[in-house]
Structure 1
Amino acid sequence: MSTDIAVRTRGLGKSYGDFTAVGSVDLGIEAGSVFAMLGPNGAGKTTTVRMLATLLRPDRGSAEIFGYDVVREATAVRSMIGLTGQYASVDETLTAGENLRLFGRLLGLSRRAAASRAGELLEEFELSAVARRSVSAFSGGMRRRLDLAATLITVPPLIFLDEPTTGLDPHTRDRMWGIVRGLVARGATVLLTTQYLEEADALADRIAVIDRGRIVADGTPAELKSSIGEQVLRLDIPDTADLRRAEALIQEMTGDVPEGSSTGTLTVALHDVTHGADIVAACRAEGITLRGFAVDRPDLNEVFLSLTGHARTVDAA
């Protein structure tokens, strides 16, 4: 078993008739790291994860988990992975404790070991108080925590988290982030898909941006941010007509189309910070009213929009 690379794909792809869900994905994920996949709706993130987890057979290319081929050696791959999908896999007719004990037994733990591990996880995920309550009465956030707990009955070398914190309140999301960091500190590798750019920024060692079934960028959060410029200029323009005039002016000056919003804010990447002063001066010379302006480092939202041309959305494919 290779200990340096947890996931390796070459030209991995999946189609459904004439529709290409994943065109050609090349990945190399280091063991002991957190790797995040970001992409607009239908980009192919979940399809990629399902192929890596042996739930879908690739149509082309190859994928290896710790050196084991996901098609030819699927049984070995399954012994090394855990998956938390977008929908809860727990049994609603059972209690939280019964679910975890059942998963433990299915994974080969003795009755005593399964009960012990269930108790540990109920405590870790703040579910001890509702351990005897039927899952059918749980909130969405509680089910999500229980679903992740079930994935971690045994801690596999590689864990897939598909939208792990969707629907969780900020407190629970922060706790989940701490759990992910703890898993990596104990030697696990985590591949997560997420609709929250701040989540990828906070957790990931590397991020791949996937669009239309292909990887369009791959790097550390800092590398991706610097790829669109060291700084961004944000202009607060209250008047709609002025907003449109400023868009045209900035495009003429820089050759780039600024990112606009319905709240009256334009954002433009600056590869030279002095260009920010030139843009502000030109706007004033044209009589464009600015309510305010600022030069900041870009965030992942700017990176995401720059690379894909799409707003961030939940991925369904």
Structure 2
Amino acid sequence: MTNVAVIGAGLIGRAWSIVFARAGFTVTLWDQVPQQTTLATTFIAARLPELKAAGLLKDDPAAVLGRITPMQSLWEAVRSADYIQENGPERVEVKTALFGELERAARPEAVIASSSSGIPASAFTEHLRTRHRCLVAHPVNPPYLIPLVELCPAPWTDPAVTAQARAIMEQAGQVPATVNKELDGFALNRLQGALLAEAFRLLADDVISPADLDALVKHGLGLRWSFMGPLETIDLNAPGGLADYCNRYGPLYWLMQQQMRPLAWDQALVDRLQAARRADLPANQQALRQEWRDRRLMALLAHKAGQPA
């Protein structure tokens, strides 16, 4: 049985705890603010019955919750761990200090992964004696509902460690994607960033309204992307496959030359878009809408689970 330590019990840490416990792993959970582990346990206890009702949890919710043990100290949390998932603040100095503590406290053979969204592992592991066992395992929020996880090793990460992390993620029911070299934003956020960059450009130029722009994705591109990637999409959109698509529509994508022009997300644009969003969704309803999102994701996952691959 795999022993996992989740370090940091915020939104991502508690979600990781569900992922690993749901898969049958034993999980220890620690946060430097003790109240966070209490809040995390309450959150997890509330989510597990919903996952069971959606058909996304095989075991009894109480049994899954029983696999998660809050710990009083970091040392207690990691001393028996085979795999450690760090979820500290997204700041280099914090992660550097935390990984130093993890190296001293963890067993020498334990894999240490960070949930970093954009800071590469090389930025906070270079000083470690056992830096070969460290990498980034970047989830998509919330990871217990969106299975993709990016694995991004540092230049000195042992390939066997990356392979081990990938195997653990697969055992946990996640879908790992390995990024072979470090670069800003890894791969997923670079794809998301390209879409956001063009979205903000269209909005800044008053080409389309914020609501209609969201409609382009959620009622158009997003429907296909929920079960196909962009390469499979274009492969199926021309009689002769991907090469035929490129020959037919390649000239259209010269528009990328226009899209290369950098556009700053200036405060006036951000304020305008913020106002548009709050007009559609008042701030006091945002938490309810997040719960709605999670339930829609549960329904989508349940639907996909019942379909052939």
TM-score bracket, shorter-length normalisation: under 0.3
TM-score, length-scaled by structure 2 = 0.27
Structure with larger RCO (C-alpha < 8 A, sep 6+)? 1
Greater strand proportion: 1
